[in-house]
Structure 1
Amino acid sequence: MGTLPDPQIDYSVHPRVNSSDPVSPRPKPATPAHVIKSDQEALEIAERLAEKLKAGAALRDREGLLPIAELDEYSQSGLWSINVPKAYGGAEVSYATIARVIATIAAADPAIAQITQNHLAIVATVDLDGTEEQKKLFFSWALQGIRYGNAFSELKSKTVAAFETKVVFDGDDVVVNGEKFYTTGALLAHVVPIVAVDENGQGHLVFADRDAPGLTVTNNWSSFGQRTTASGSVKIENVRVPRSRAVHVTSFDHPTVGGPVSQIIQSAIDVGIARGAIEDTIAFVRNHSRPWIDSGKETAGEDLFTIAAVGDLKIKLHAAEALIDIAGRSIDVAKANPTLETVSEATIKTGESKVLTTEIAILATNKLFELAGTRSTLAEHNLDRHWRNARVHTLHDPVRWKFYHVGNYYLNGVHPPRHAWN
């Protein structure tokens, strides 16, 4: 990660991102995960867990330490199965609640929050596209605490949706070949779902065990932000999986909430980054910053311009949070009654939230240093992690296209496109 090893850290227990530290496949949970029963319980558990995660977030980012123990506690908490349908034993909480849960975790450590994103999106995809037997199997795994990583995006394809990874059907099995990048969570997952296309160009989500022969996960994520997501690469060489574990994905061929579900979690991560940055800004101004000489004030917190700037940040944060909540409720409506109109409404509202959360994440993480002052840039505080995380995560899908789709919808009545990035 560009830093010298810390002699006080045991890297055999706490391996680093983008290093030669060995990372073995994670053993499946020895005991079943807790099963959450309600929206309120999910929020309460998220708050308690966030307090723990926040304590080591700066150190993990600085040293590039993979959050192994933290992920185990997180997935065992039950928060990774809160969108499993009630008919299969899950809480099936509102997507507004899911967004609040993710934002709470992201305010403490956005890298850990991002690792959850693909797992929850996969659970939603199984709900939309899985057969009855596949739903029983994959939902039960999620409820047990099994973590799904991902092998979706590709580094060398023409666009994010131009998949070159291939799946071939061979009797009772499928065989997959390809190469993936941006594989958030795969390194520390128990199961790695792979997006692949068949000879007819049809998409499939193939659930391979993390230690399956031919599946190689490389710890080579070198981004300056979201460092400990371990979003490296996956090589897939003749990986053989039972055919029953291949979900035929058709949810973007007709109106479903597949896209908005993925997107609202991204929005929640960004608003969490903003919230964490604003909290640290306020704490630093109160406890460390000096008042500017021209203010005539005794403390930095009495500076009129600082007070107004914090007010502006809070107002914009609350606006973003409110729009995420509106988007979550619209996803609930579209999930219960998926029509072109309800799904478009959910997509547009979620796109609007993505714009505001991107803007407040970038603004808040930049304003932190302006308001807190030069001493806030010292390495000992590692506050630049907020800006690095915001800058990297908000690149997931360009908000310039959100403005276009939102405007085209309201002005010309054009329904937004359906894919995982919208």
Structure 2
Amino acid sequence: MGAPSTVTFDLHPRAKRISSDEEAIRVARELAEDFAQDAALRDRERRLPAAELDRFSGSGLWAMSVPKAYGGAGVSFATLAKVIAIISAADPSIGQIPQNHLAFVDVLRVFGSEAQKQRWFGRILEGYRLGNAFSEAQSRTVAEFQTRLRPAGENYVLDGEKFYCTGALFAHFHHVGAMDDEGRLNLAVVPRGAPGLTITDDWSGFGQRITASGSVKLEGVPVAADDVVPVWRGVDVPNANGAVSQIIQAAVDAGIARGAIEATIQFVKETSRPWLDSGKATAGEDLFILRDVGQLMIKLHAAEAMLESAGLAIDAILDGPDAGAVANATIRVAEAKILTTELAIEAGDKLHELAGTRSTLARYNLDRYWRNARTHTLHDPVRWKYFHIGNHLLNGVAPPRHAWS
């Protein structure tokens, strides 16, 4: 860790095309079955999933939300969330890596020029991946940026340092959040290997260990003028971008929760011992375990139903939404994020309580569920979601429109 990236992957991809929502879900389940096989080993040894990501993006799923008008499947956001949850139940690090790529697809849909849409949707459909270079470790808040986009003739150069750069290590291109000379936020897209661009594998979080969410340094990195997306134009324009970003986060947490609950059931059935006072022959007959497993599954079904409802709410505001419709969809997604956050953490903790001491042994690596949940859910605090929901209900105040709301 701490060294510039040397990870290798397919630099000239040719992805399949997803044609429908049903196909997207079927392909996700097929991939998840394979990804689950070595998930514990990859986490324990911090084995970066380059080959798995080539399969993931090569399946066409990273392009599933490209609009139909540009050759994509244009799947429902309910489907997109379900796909990410399915992959995340198998390996949440792999499920998290495309989150910023998928969010950029929607940014491009809303703010990209026609030429940008044609070019980047085309590349995404071919299987090219975009990696995150947005957040910064040294700024006062997550929404403030020190990275600068400066004019250089007819084009620009980028200078700055980024952290939490999920997916950057495995990306063909990087979308960089940067402020221009007028203090406006832009996304500038630069290719892997651009002069002055350094990607460092220095992510040391105890969870989501193989997202390689390390740092990106930009020193006079050249960027073409037509590869700058002026997202600042969306500050006062109602749109779905914030809700799209958040539903992907919620979907990862829903997947972690399902993975933890399924691991609990399997371990209790196959490995755990019954408690001596229970009078039962197996741990699976313990009355208290039965009750808690049932409760966890009910909460999971509620969270997954809320996630689907939130996805459908986003679908309803894709074209020309007004501020009220965006606020309602944002609230719906916030409700899903609360449920999935709290359940992912609870399920990871309950796994060990119900499965018993043996479940803590290193060879099982079952603590990865709690570690992954605790780490990923820190992206944005749900305490503020409770506030925004209550403020909307009681005072009619719309939640803020940004990627953390």
Q: Do they fold alike, i.e. is TM over 0.5?
A: yes
Measured on the aligned residues, the alpha-carbon RMSD in Å equals 1.1
The C-alpha deviation readout for 1:167-202, integer Å capped at 9, x for no partner, is 012233111100000000001100011010101111
Give 2:91's aligned residue.
Answer: 109
Q: C-alpha separation between the residues in 2 aligned to 1:145 and 1:216?
A: 23
Q: Structure 1 residue 356 and structure 2 residue 339: aligned?
A: yes
Q: Structure 1 residue 409 and structure 2 residue 392: aligned?
A: yes
Does the Cα contact within 8 Å between 1:37 and 1:90 map onto a contact in 2? yes
1:238 corresponds to which of 220, 226, 230: 220
Does the Cα contact within 8 Å between 1:165 and 1:177 map onto a contact in 2? yes
TM-score, normalization by structure 2 = 0.98
Q: Structure 1 residue 204 and structure 2 residue 186: aligned?
A: yes
Give 2:132's aligned residue.
Answer: 150
Does the Cα contact within 8 Å between 1:218 and 1:232 map onto a contact in 2? yes
Q: Structure 1 residue 38 and structure 2 residue 42: aligned?
A: no
Residues 134-173 of structure 1 aligned to structure 2 (within 5 Å):
134-173=116-155
Deviation at 1:210, TM superposition (A): 1.2
Deviation at 1:251, TM superposition (A): 2.4
The code of the aligned residue for 1:76 comes to G
The C-alpha deviation readout for 1:314-356, integer Å capped at 9, x for no partner, is 0111111011111000000011341111111110000011110
Deviation at 1:203, TM superposition (A): 1.1
Does the Cα contact within 8 Å between 2:7 and 2:50 map onto a contact in 1? no
TM-score, normalization by structure 1 = 0.94
1:129 corresponds to which of 111, 120, 131: 111
The code of the aligned residue for 1:137 comes to R
Residues 22-421 of structure 1 aligned to structure 2 (within 5 Å):
23-24=6-7, 26-30=9-13, 32-249=14-231, 250-421=233-404
Gaps of 5+ in 2: none
Q: C-alpha separation between the residues in 2 aligned to 1:153 and 1:366?
A: 29
- Could you say if the C-alpha distance between residues 25 and 38 of structure 1 is closer, same or farther in structure 2, counting changes exceeding 3 Å? same
The code of the aligned residue for 2:394 comes to L
The code of the aligned residue for 1:118 comes to N
Local SS of the residue matching 1:325:
helix
Q: C-alpha separation between the residues in 2 aligned to 1:241 and 1:83?
A: 26
Does the Cα contact within 8 Å between 2:5 and 2:201 map onto a contact in 1? no
Q: C-alpha separation between the residues in 2 aligned to 1:160 and 1:21?
A: 24
Deviation at 1:384, TM superposition (A): 0.3
The code of the aligned residue for 2:403 comes to A
The code of the aligned residue for 1:158 comes to R
Gaps of 5+ in 1: 1-17
Does the Cα contact within 8 Å between 2:9 and 2:54 map onto a contact in 1? no
- Could you say if the C-alpha distance between residues 404 and 29 of structure 1 is closer, same or farther in structure 2, counting changes exceeding 3 Å? same
Q: C-alpha separation between the residues in 1 aligned to 2:359 and 2:141?
A: 39
The code of the aligned residue for 1:273 comes to I
Q: C-alpha separation between the residues in 1 aligned to 2:142 and 2:389?
A: 21
Does the Cα contact within 8 Å between 1:252 and 1:258 map onto a contact in 2? no
Deviation at 1:21, TM superposition (A): 8.7
Deviation at 1:242, TM superposition (A): 1.0
Q: C-alpha separation between the residues in 2 aligned to 1:54 and 1:60?
A: 10
Does the Cα contact within 8 Å between 2:199 and 2:217 map onto a contact in 1? yes
Deviation at 1:27, TM superposition (A): 4.4
Q: C-alpha separation between the residues in 1 aligned to 2:265 and 2:4?
A: 37
Local SS of the residue matching 1:212:
coil
